[in-house]
Amino acid sequence: MVQKPTYEELLIKIESLEKEVQNVKEAYQVQTAEKENHQRFLKFLPYPVLARDAKERVTYLNPAFTKTFGWTLNEMKGKIGKNYVPDSLKTELRDKIKMLPYSKNILQFNTKRLTKNGDILDVVIRIGVDRDKNKNPEGVIIVLKDVTMEKRIDRNRTAMNRISKVLPQYPGLKKLLFYVNTEIKELLNVESANTILLDEAQKEFYFFSVAHDDPTTREHIEKTRFAMSELMSGQVVKTGKPIIVNTPSDDRQLYQLRNRKMGYKIKNLLLVPLKNKDRIIGILAADNKKTGDFDETDLETLNTISATVALSIENARVSRELREAYEELKSLNHAKDKMISHLSHELKTPVAILLSSFKILSKRLADLPEKTWQPTMERVQRNLDRIIGIEGEVSDIVEKKDFFHHKIFSRILEQCRDEFESLIAEETGEKGIIAKVSRKIEDIFSSRDLVVQDIFLNRFVEKRIKAIKPDMSHRNISLIPHLKSSSPIRMPVDPLKKTVDGLIRNAIENTPDGGKIEIFVHQKGNGMQFVVKDHGIGLTQEARKRIFEGFFSTQETMNYSSKRPFDFNAGGKGADLLRMKIFSEKYNFKISMTSQRCRRIPKNMDACPGSIQECQNIPGPECDGMTTVTCFFPFPESK
């Protein structure tokens, strides 16, 4: 028989039960609070979250999911919930969970998901899998992160880097822009990307480069021209602002005419201006986006690329104009060289005849008193020498000394040698005249082979100074040589002689009496340096820029006069330095000049009195003009 509990025992039991109820109640309250906190956490979590049970039915989704993908909890709860998964990825999640090892409950991968509006988003999915005692999945928590914008930005950056790297590989503008348009087409996922240029003269648009899905349509578009009023590009040109059109109206005449001429229907389009400084030269266009509408990110991308396209178009225009200018300059330069060469050739024969006639005339006048004809003959001789000097300088500059005249005259003389000799002997009684004529033709018209040889520059300059001194004896100029022994340089004697003599003569002619000229020869690095430094009048800034151009006078025309060589301001022919520059390029030495204009005569029109002593008697600043010409001759390379 079961013993009944006492009253006290019942009280103790009741108290125990009350404590258990209280513990359960408290545990329920804690669990409820945790559930509320968990739901509150999921509600405010910025990433979309979705929970599914063992049968893959949706049990929960948070507001961030609704904001990103469009579906609400009421629409998805209790359903399989695969309407936000693209058809090609329906089994992807189940397959990946099956392949997940039993020891792991976390899975993460990149994939795509659909929005309620049909847009495809790039997402990163992180999944937590709950397993039962048998290790089978009984539920999953899915956290998604929308990385569509990040990927677009990264693709844009990569594309811009790619475009910038290939620019030098496409010298032709047409091929370059086709490449850029193809990049735009892939980047924005559009049917067509076009570079539209404005023909300002005709007020028309033409499609300079087109990248289209259909090659036939591309060829058709490139042959089509539009009036500014026929395209929305006209509005972009007028306002200078880009345009996004996602819903063009089919009943508008503008769109219908454009679609008919282009050969396909435009559903949406993005236009940005191509700007060159203060004007718009065309439009960069993208149309028929394949997924979704054009947005601000697309606009920013196309704007960035448009700057590169506009710069490429401007560079191509400048390059074309430079090529045209170069070709024109080359043509003019060729005509100039041809003219100078022709004049040089034509001068040779009359100058030679004048010299011969001058000698004959001198002999005929020998019986008359010298004072009646000598000054005139000296003047004639001086100017003939000047013409010969000009012809020689021009001949060196054009570098064409194998003249056609030489071949013709030599052949005629050779063919008729006996006849000429008999005729001349009969008329003049002289014999051997043909040999003299042959030597004269050879001297006037033949080219001289310049032999490269070893030259010790210090000895060579010393000899040239001695040779020049008698010609400058009428001038009060101090030549101060600083000639150090040297290793030999290699070049022909004739151009070196013309260079050394010319630089010393120019220095003397630009230094007033009482001045000094220093001449240096010394080794510098792997070569020899020849320096002529005069303390003369110096050159103005304009003269320094053009001094090597040739036939440029440093004096004003009104101050210019042709005097004897080595006179102060003798008025040179202006070709000496050009000839030296050509010599330097041909024989591999360098020539340079620095100069400081005398403060007393800052302008070309200002005249120097020609004597430092006279100049010092005139109030004004100290005479401080100076010109230094430097020639550097590298040593020959050892074999």
Q: Which residues contact 190 (CB under 8 A, 6 or more apart)?
A: 184, 286, 287, 288, 289, 290
Identify the DSSP state of 450: P
Q: Which residue has the higher pLDDT, 494 or 308?
A: 494
Question: CA angle, 286 as apex, 280 and 291 as ends, to 5°?
Answer: 155
Which of 11-20, 286-295, 340-349, 460-469 shows the lowest per-residue confidence on average (mean pLDDT)?
340-349
Query: What pLDDT score was predicted for residue 135?
Result: 78
> 45-146 maps to which CATH number?
3.30.450.20
Which of 277-286, 319-328, 371-380 shows the lowest per-residue confidence on average (mean pLDDT)?
371-380
Query: What pLDDT score was predicted for residue 441?
Result: 53
Q: Is 89 exposed, middle or buried (0-12, 13-18, 19+ CB in 10 A)?
A: middle
Q: How far apart are CA 235 and CA 198, in angstroms?
A: 13
Q: Is 636 exposed, middle or buried (0-12, 13-18, 19+ CB in 10 A)?
A: middle
| Alpha-carbon distances, residue 42 vs 61, 110, 142, 144, 147 (angstroms) | 8, 22, 12, 13, 20
Q: Which residue has the higher pLDDT, 6 or 471?
A: 471
- Provide the residue type at 76 as one letter: M
Q: With beta carbons less than 8 A apart as the criterion, state whether 548 and 577 touch.
A: yes
Q: How far apart are CA 119 and CA 113, in angstroms?
A: 8
Q: How far apart are CA 412 and CA 409, in angstroms?
A: 5
Q: Does 402 score more than 50 pLDDT? A: no
Nearest alpha-carbon partner for 53 in 78, 34, 84: 78
The widest CA-to-CA distance across the chain, in whole angstroms, is 187
Q: How far apart are CA 512 and CA 612, in angstroms?
A: 6
pLDDT digits (tens, 9 = 90+) for 501-530: 999 999 998 899 999 999 999 999 899 999
Query: What pLDDT score was predicted for residue 391?
Result: 67
Q: Does 617 score more than 90 pLDDT? A: no
Range 311-338 average pLDDT = 76
Range 301-312 average pLDDT = 84
Q: How far apart are CA 157 and CA 631, in angstroms?
A: 53
> In the chain, how many H helices and how many E strands?
19, 18
pLDDT digits (tens, 9 = 90+) for 112-133: 998 888 888 899 999 888 887 7
Q: How far apart are CA 280 and CA 273, in angstroms?
A: 6
Burial 437-451 (b: 16+ CB within 10 A, else e): beeebeebbeeeeee
Identify the DSSP state of 27: H
Q: Does 111 score more than 50 pLDDT? A: yes
The CA-to-CA distance between both ends of the chain, in Å, stands at 133
Q: How far apart are CA 435 and CA 179, in angstroms?
A: 74
Q: Which residues contact 580 (CB under 8 A, 6 or more apart)?
A: 498, 499, 502, 503, 591
Query: What pLDDT score was predicted for residue 462?
Result: 94
Q: Does 404 score more than 50 pLDDT? A: no
Quote the radius of gyration of the chain (alpha carbons, Å).
Answer: 48
Q: Does 349 score more than 90 pLDDT? A: no
Nearest alpha-carbon partner for 633 in 552, 522, 555, 541: 522
Collapsing DSSP states into helix, strand and coil, what is residue 531? strand
Query: What pLDDT score was predicted for residue 174?
Result: 84
Q: Does 464 score more than 50 pLDDT? A: yes
Which tokens hold the place of 621?
């600043």
The CATH number, out of the four listed (3.40.50.10190, 3.30.70.260, 3.30.565.10, 3.90.1150.10), of the domain defined by the range 452-634: 3.30.565.10
pLDDT category at 397 given cuts 50, 70, 90 is low
Query: What pLDDT score was predicted for residue 557?
Result: 43
Range 172-184 average pLDDT = 85
Q: Does 165 score more than 60 pLDDT? A: yes
Q: With beta carbons less than 8 A apart as the criterion, state whether 516 and 477 touch.
A: yes
Q: Which residue has the higher pLDDT, 618 or 254?
A: 618
> 152-320 maps to which CATH number?
3.30.450.40
| Distance, CA of 633 to chain centre | 32
pLDDT digits (tens, 9 = 90+) for 221-277: 888 888 888 888 888 888 889 999 887 665 466 667 777 888 888 888 899 999 887
Burial 374-397 (b: 16+ CB within 10 A, else e): eeeeeeeeeeeebebebbbbbbbb
Nearest alpha-carbon partner for 240 in 276, 280, 195: 280
Collapsing DSSP states into helix, strand and coil, what is residue 490? strand
The fraction of the chain above a pLDDT of 70, given in percent, is 78
Q: Does 407 score more than 60 pLDDT? A: no
Instruction: List phi, psi (to 5°) of 530.
Output: -115, 120
Query: What pLDDT score was predicted for residue 26?
Result: 64
Nearest alpha-carbon partner for 125 in 88, 169, 161, 94: 94
Which of 127-131, 343-347, 434-438 shows the lowest per-residue confidence on average (mean pLDDT)?
434-438
- C-beta atoms surrounding 404 within 10 Å: 9
Query: What pLDDT score was predicted for residue 254?
Result: 64
Query: What pLDDT score was predicted for residue 400?
Result: 46
Concatenated DSSP letters for 99-148?
TS-TT--EEEEEEEEE-TTS-EEEEEEEEEEEE-TTS-EEEEEEEEEE-H
Which of 133-147, 563-577, 607-621 shows the lowest per-residue confidence on average (mean pLDDT)?
563-577
Q: Does 156 score more than 60 pLDDT? A: yes
Q: Which residue has the higher pLDDT, 371 or 518?
A: 518
Strands 516-523 and 478-483: parallel
Instruction: List phi, psi (to 5°) of 381.
Output: -60, -45
Which tokens hold the place of 89?
């990825």
Which tokens hold the place of 613?
């002593």
Q: With beta carbons less than 8 A apart as the criterion, state whether 635 and 526 touch.
A: yes
| Distance, CA of 498 to chain centre | 39
Q: At what angle do helices 576-587 and 493-509 cross, to 10 degrees?
A: 150
Query: What pLDDT score was predicted for residue 455?
Result: 93
pLDDT category at 15 given cuts 50, 70, 90 is confident
Q: How far apart are CA 322 and CA 74, in angstroms?
A: 70
Query: What pLDDT score was predicted for residue 445?
Result: 47
Query: What pLDDT score was predicted for residue 467?
Result: 94
Which of 336-340, 359-363, 414-418 shows the lowest per-residue confidence on average (mean pLDDT)?
414-418
Q: How far apart are CA 132 and CA 179, in angstroms?
A: 57
Q: At what angle do helices 457-468 and 493-509 cross, to 10 degrees?
A: 50
Average pLDDT, the chain: 79
Query: What pLDDT score was predicted for residue 432?
Result: 59
Which tokens hold the place of 515?
């001045």
Range 412-428 average pLDDT = 57
Q: With beta carbons less than 8 A apart as the criterion, state whether 156 and 187 touch.
A: yes
Residue whose structure tokens are 């050009």 = 578
pTM for the whole structure: 0.46
Q: Is the C-alpha dihedral spanning 84, 87, 88, 90 positive or negative?
A: positive
Query: What pLDDT score was predicted for residue 338?
Result: 65
Which of 124-133, 139-148, 298-307, 567-576 shows the lowest per-residue confidence on average (mean pLDDT)?
567-576
